[in-house]
Structure 1
Amino acid sequence: MGEYTIAISNILNEHQVSNSGANVGLYIAYMLIGVAYCYLGLKWSAYLNKFMIYWVAAGTIIVVIAMPVMSPTHPSAEWVFTEFQNSTGYKNSGLAFFLGLLQAGWTLIGYENGAQIAEGTKNADTTGPRGIIIAVVFAIAQGIVLCVATLFSIQDVEELQNSSFPLSTLFIRATNPQLAVFILVVLTVAQFGSLCNSLLANAQLIWSMSRDECLPFHKFWYKLSGKHQVPLRILLLEAVICILVILPLLGSEVYWSAIMSTAVICVNVAYGLPYLCRLIWKRNEIHKGPFNLGRYSIIVNGIAVAWIAFFGVILCIPAVSPVDPVTMNWASLMIGAILIFSLVFWFVSGRKNYKGPMQTIGDTK
């Protein structure tokens, strides 16, 4: 909230400055609050998810109605649906289009969280995949509606491109400062819900890897804490890693774009690796659960692997031209470092200890 207050003030005074320190501080605060909430257990996570359904729905309705209605001017429908502006510096407009896919790639991730925490729900073999499909369909529908409403509310494209706080600028120019603050609060709460789900889902994943003995000190990470039996040690580990990863932002604003591209690539590769393994080694041997794609399974798997490979390459291309140390896309360097770390980790610890998936048996206190 402090970040948004600074943003509103800067925009109204037409004097925008970088606030990396404030952003990092708020990031750390939200991270710690998210860990504290996850410690309350899966029941409170369910409460939050139910609340978020209505909160996000109400917020979406407010945004898609208030912005177009209150906007001082509106671009034409022709501009909204057919205008194409290439501001990247590349002469090839097709390349500019593909570079714009980063934002779409960032928003259409995270739906696997439902599958990761489905282990603690009833009928996980059907609720998990059903949750993924519902998340994808609603994300696409919500995204289209928000995009159309936003495009019809834009006042000055160049101002948004040059703004240090484009989202705040958009809301202020389309509505007024008071409503802009309210909308940003809606987004903040929605982001907090997403944070809690991501923390819990990743904790469940790391806990399962510890159960299968493919992590160093797996017995330490396998312990559950509190009356709600929450992997608190893993949640704290996540918080420490995330805080360490964000700290370089204090010294370089380019670092954030590299982190964003790297995160999208790595998450999509994590999605695609099981599909690739199935296509190569288990094409006709995999056990089919009660929810499956039937004869379309292999086709969908192949399309997914091809798209992820193509998308990963696109996201490593610098977003603007000419390329210099500031505009360079450092995602490929960071991915190389992650790949080296993962391979070393696997050969030093993972392969030696991993004996296959195990059932949860006995007390984990």
Structure 2
Amino acid sequence: MSDSSSAGNEKHFEHIAAAPVSDDGALGSVKDSEASDDELLKSIGYKQEFRREFTRWSTLSYAISIMGVLGSVPATYSTPLAAGGPATPIWTWFTGSFFSMTIALSIAELVSAYPTAGGMYFVTKYVVPEEHVPIASWIVGWSNFLGQTAGVTSVGYSVGQMLLAACAMGSGFDEKTGTFGYTPTAEHTVGVAVATLILMGIICSFPTKWLHNCIMWFAPINVVASIAISIALLTLTPNLLPASQVFGNVTDGSGWGSRGFSFLIGFLSVAWTMTDYDATTHISEETRKAAIRGPVAITQAVIISGLVGLLLNISFGFCVGDGTTILSSGLGNPVAQIFYNAHGAKSGLAMWFWAILIQFFTGCAAMLADTRMAYAFARDHAFPFSGTLKKMSPSTKTPLYSVWMVVIICCLLNLIGLGSVETINSIFGITAPALDCSYMAVIALRLWYSDRLTLRKGPFSLGKWGRPINFIALGWTSLLAVILMFPTSRPVTAVNMNYAVVVAAGVLVFALIWWFAGARKVYVGPRTGGDEVQKS
């Protein structure tokens, strides 16, 4: 694209990004908004293929549901509790939410300038010199797709675990043996997980209008149910822990000989929950006024999820009782046991149902982001059979081939759980570092080349605070990368070893071998400059 055309697009972008828009029912304003969004996408270099149905509220609901604290906090609560006692989940969540906001703000500013389905992967094109675009975007794209896919796989598996925990809870507790009537097996967990992923795939195959109508309800249910459950737990649970233990009891449960390090391991929960920040950008080509609504939704979701997650962690802390007993629960999940202890099986199941439902919502939202990333990657010819994977269904106006490719990959990954729990947990453990590295690589490259390249600004800008916030985000993510790769307990054995670093290295080596073996001959990075528009 020539300098003159780029300058023209800059002015055009500023004009259409500032165009007024309303969701409230003025038909003309909605049509004007969609026309402006389509023109912005065309100026970036892509043809509008999706229908823009997501509004301000459904975009915010989507951003909140991708984190799904009512499902994600119970699914990950055992790690900080086991490592550092009841106070660790609370303070790591409080601290982690603050630093997560720096990542969210850094991402929001970048994707505001280029609101496409590729998210931060697409932004890579504009933060490095032209000669480095192919290899940089290849690595960032694969890192992001790996993190997205591992995340969807893990949520599907966790839904299976939570559903089977409900079955165990309802099977009755034998006081003599101290066990429940039903004990979940690996085969049962994987079977339920695969069925869950297929159901998620069916939902993600819906037309965007249907998805908008469904997702509108995800966040309200999440927030209201979280508040209601917190009140119920604090009201029904006998023998609450004293506040001194809830807020002050940090232990060395990891065995590393340091309460400080055990506390740091507790950040795994917030890191696994507060991620996939650019998810709203992956649906930006289906969103009205995406250049501002997507970035705003990212930051609002972190605030709301941070507060709701803190409420849940505090409630669990008061109700946890004896941590050792809770962690060895026959239900397979300490929070499920907390629910059961509050007022028996019926009340426990009533509360646990909402946690399962929210975790399922999170899986649907995560899969939607993953399928849109797959579509964007295929659009740029980064996959085998990209020509097929990028095709849009003429009836739903969604990329069904990309949807079901993601479903199949996630189902196959879950099958690993039949043979090795350690390996499948390592795949799940790569979610946060892979996604965060894909984000931080782009932010770091932007800072490194800032004196040579000028990134155009979107309507969401950090101004003079941009660089300090970027550096804080980089420092925080670097710390998390080390923690996320560490074994969570000592002594380190084949069972508790953190194989995430092995999985990450394996995928990186695979991507580089593929690159030098032939991908570099056909992949040039995000294909913009009007080529796709002119061909269509």
Q: AA paired with 2:259?
A: S
The offset of 1:346, in angstroms, is 3.3
> 1:68: which partner in 2?
234
Task: Please list, as runs of the form range in 1=range in 2, the aligned pairs for 1:115-126 lying within 5 A after superposition.
Answer: 115-126=281-292
Q: AA paired with 2:448?
A: I
Residue 349 to residue 8, structure 1, CA distance change in 2 (3 Å): farther
Q: AA paired with 1:193?
A: F
> 1:86: which partner in 2?
252
> 2:382: which partner in 1?
214
Distance 1:339 1:242 in 2: 19
2:447 aligned with 1:279:
yes
| Structure 2 counterpart of 1:176, from 340, 344, 351 | 344
Tell me, yes or no, if the aligned pair for 1:7 and 1:168 is still in contact at 8 Å.
Answer: no
2:15 aligned with 1:15:
no
The offset of 1:10, in angstroms, is 6.2
Q: Secondary structure at the match of 2:376?
A: helix
Residue ranges of structure 2 left out of the alignment (5+ in a row)? 1-161
The offset of 1:350, in angstroms, is 4.5
Q: Secondary structure at the match of 1:273?
A: helix
Q: AA paired with 1:76?
A: P
The offset of 1:136, in angstroms, is 0.8
> 2:223: which partner in 1?
57
The offset of 1:281, in angstroms, is 2.2
Residue 306 to residue 286, structure 1, CA distance change in 2 (3 Å): same
Fraction of identical pairs, as percent: 25
After superposition, what is the alpha-carbon deviation per residue over 1:310-344, rounded to whole angstroms, capped at 9, x for unaligned? Answer: 21111111111111111211111111111112222
- Which has the higher mean CA deviation after the structures are superposed, 140-149 or 339-348? 339-348
Tell me, yes or no, if the aligned pair for 1:45 and 1:197 is still in contact at 8 Å.
Answer: no
Residue 72 to residue 104, structure 1, CA distance change in 2 (3 Å): same
Q: Secondary structure at the match of 1:176?
A: helix
Distance 1:205 1:248 in 2: 24
Q: AA paired with 2:365?
A: N
Distance 1:7 1:110 in 2: 32
Task: Please list, as runs of the form range in 1=range in 2, the aligned pairs for 1:18-167 lying within 5 A after superposition.
Answer: 18-163=184-329, 164-167=332-335
Distance 1:69 1:321 in 2: 37
The offset of 1:18, in angstroms, is 4.6
Q: AA paired with 1:188?
A: I
Tell me, yes or no, if the aligned pair for 1:116 and 1:204 is still in contact at 8 Å.
Answer: yes
Tell me, yes or no, if the aligned pair for 1:215 and 1:349 is still in contact at 8 Å.
Answer: no
Q: AA paired with 1:93?
A: R
> 1:4: which partner in 2?
165
The offset of 1:35, in angstroms, is 0.8
Tell me, yes or no, if the aligned pair for 2:374 and 2:402 is still in contact at 8 Å.
Answer: yes
Tell me, yes or no, if the aligned pair for 2:381 and 2:523 is still in contact at 8 Å.
Answer: yes
Residue 174 to residue 93, structure 1, CA distance change in 2 (3 Å): same
Tell me, yes or no, if the aligned pair for 1:113 and 1:201 is still in contact at 8 Å.
Answer: yes
Distance 2:339 2:433 in 1: 30
2:369 aligned with 1:201:
yes
Tell me, yes or no, if the aligned pair for 1:214 and 1:351 is still in contact at 8 Å.
Answer: no
Number of matched residues?
364
The offset of 1:226, in angstroms, is 4.4
Distance 2:255 2:268 in 1: 17
> 1:252: which partner in 2?
420
Distance 2:363 2:495 in 1: 29
Tell me, yes or no, if the aligned pair for 1:117 and 1:201 is still in contact at 8 Å.
Answer: yes
Q: Secondary structure at the match of 2:319?
A: coil
Tell me, yes or no, if the aligned pair for 2:163 and 2:356 is still in contact at 8 Å.
Answer: no
After superposition, what is the alpha-carbon deviation per residue over 1:199-237, rounded to whole angstroms, capped at 9, x for unaligned? Answer: 111111121122222333221111112412111111111
Higher relative contact order (Cα pairs below 8 Å, separated by 6+ residues):
2
Residue ranges of structure 1 left out of the alignment (5+ in a row)? none
> 2:514: which partner in 1?
345
Tell me, yes or no, if the aligned pair for 2:164 and 2:184 is still in contact at 8 Å.
Answer: no
Distance 2:360 2:220 in 1: 15
- Which has the higher mean CA deviation after the structures are superposed, 155-164 or 312-321? 155-164
- Which has the higher mean CA deviation after the structures are superposed, 96-105 or 163-172? 163-172
2:353 aligned with 1:185:
yes
Across the aligned residues of Structure 1 and Structure 2, the Cα RMSD in angstroms comes to 2.0
Q: AA paired with 1:124?
A: A
Runs of 4 or more, structure 1, over 4 Å off, are: none
Residue 11 to residue 143, structure 1, CA distance change in 2 (3 Å): farther
Residue 114 to residue 175, structure 1, CA distance change in 2 (3 Å): farther
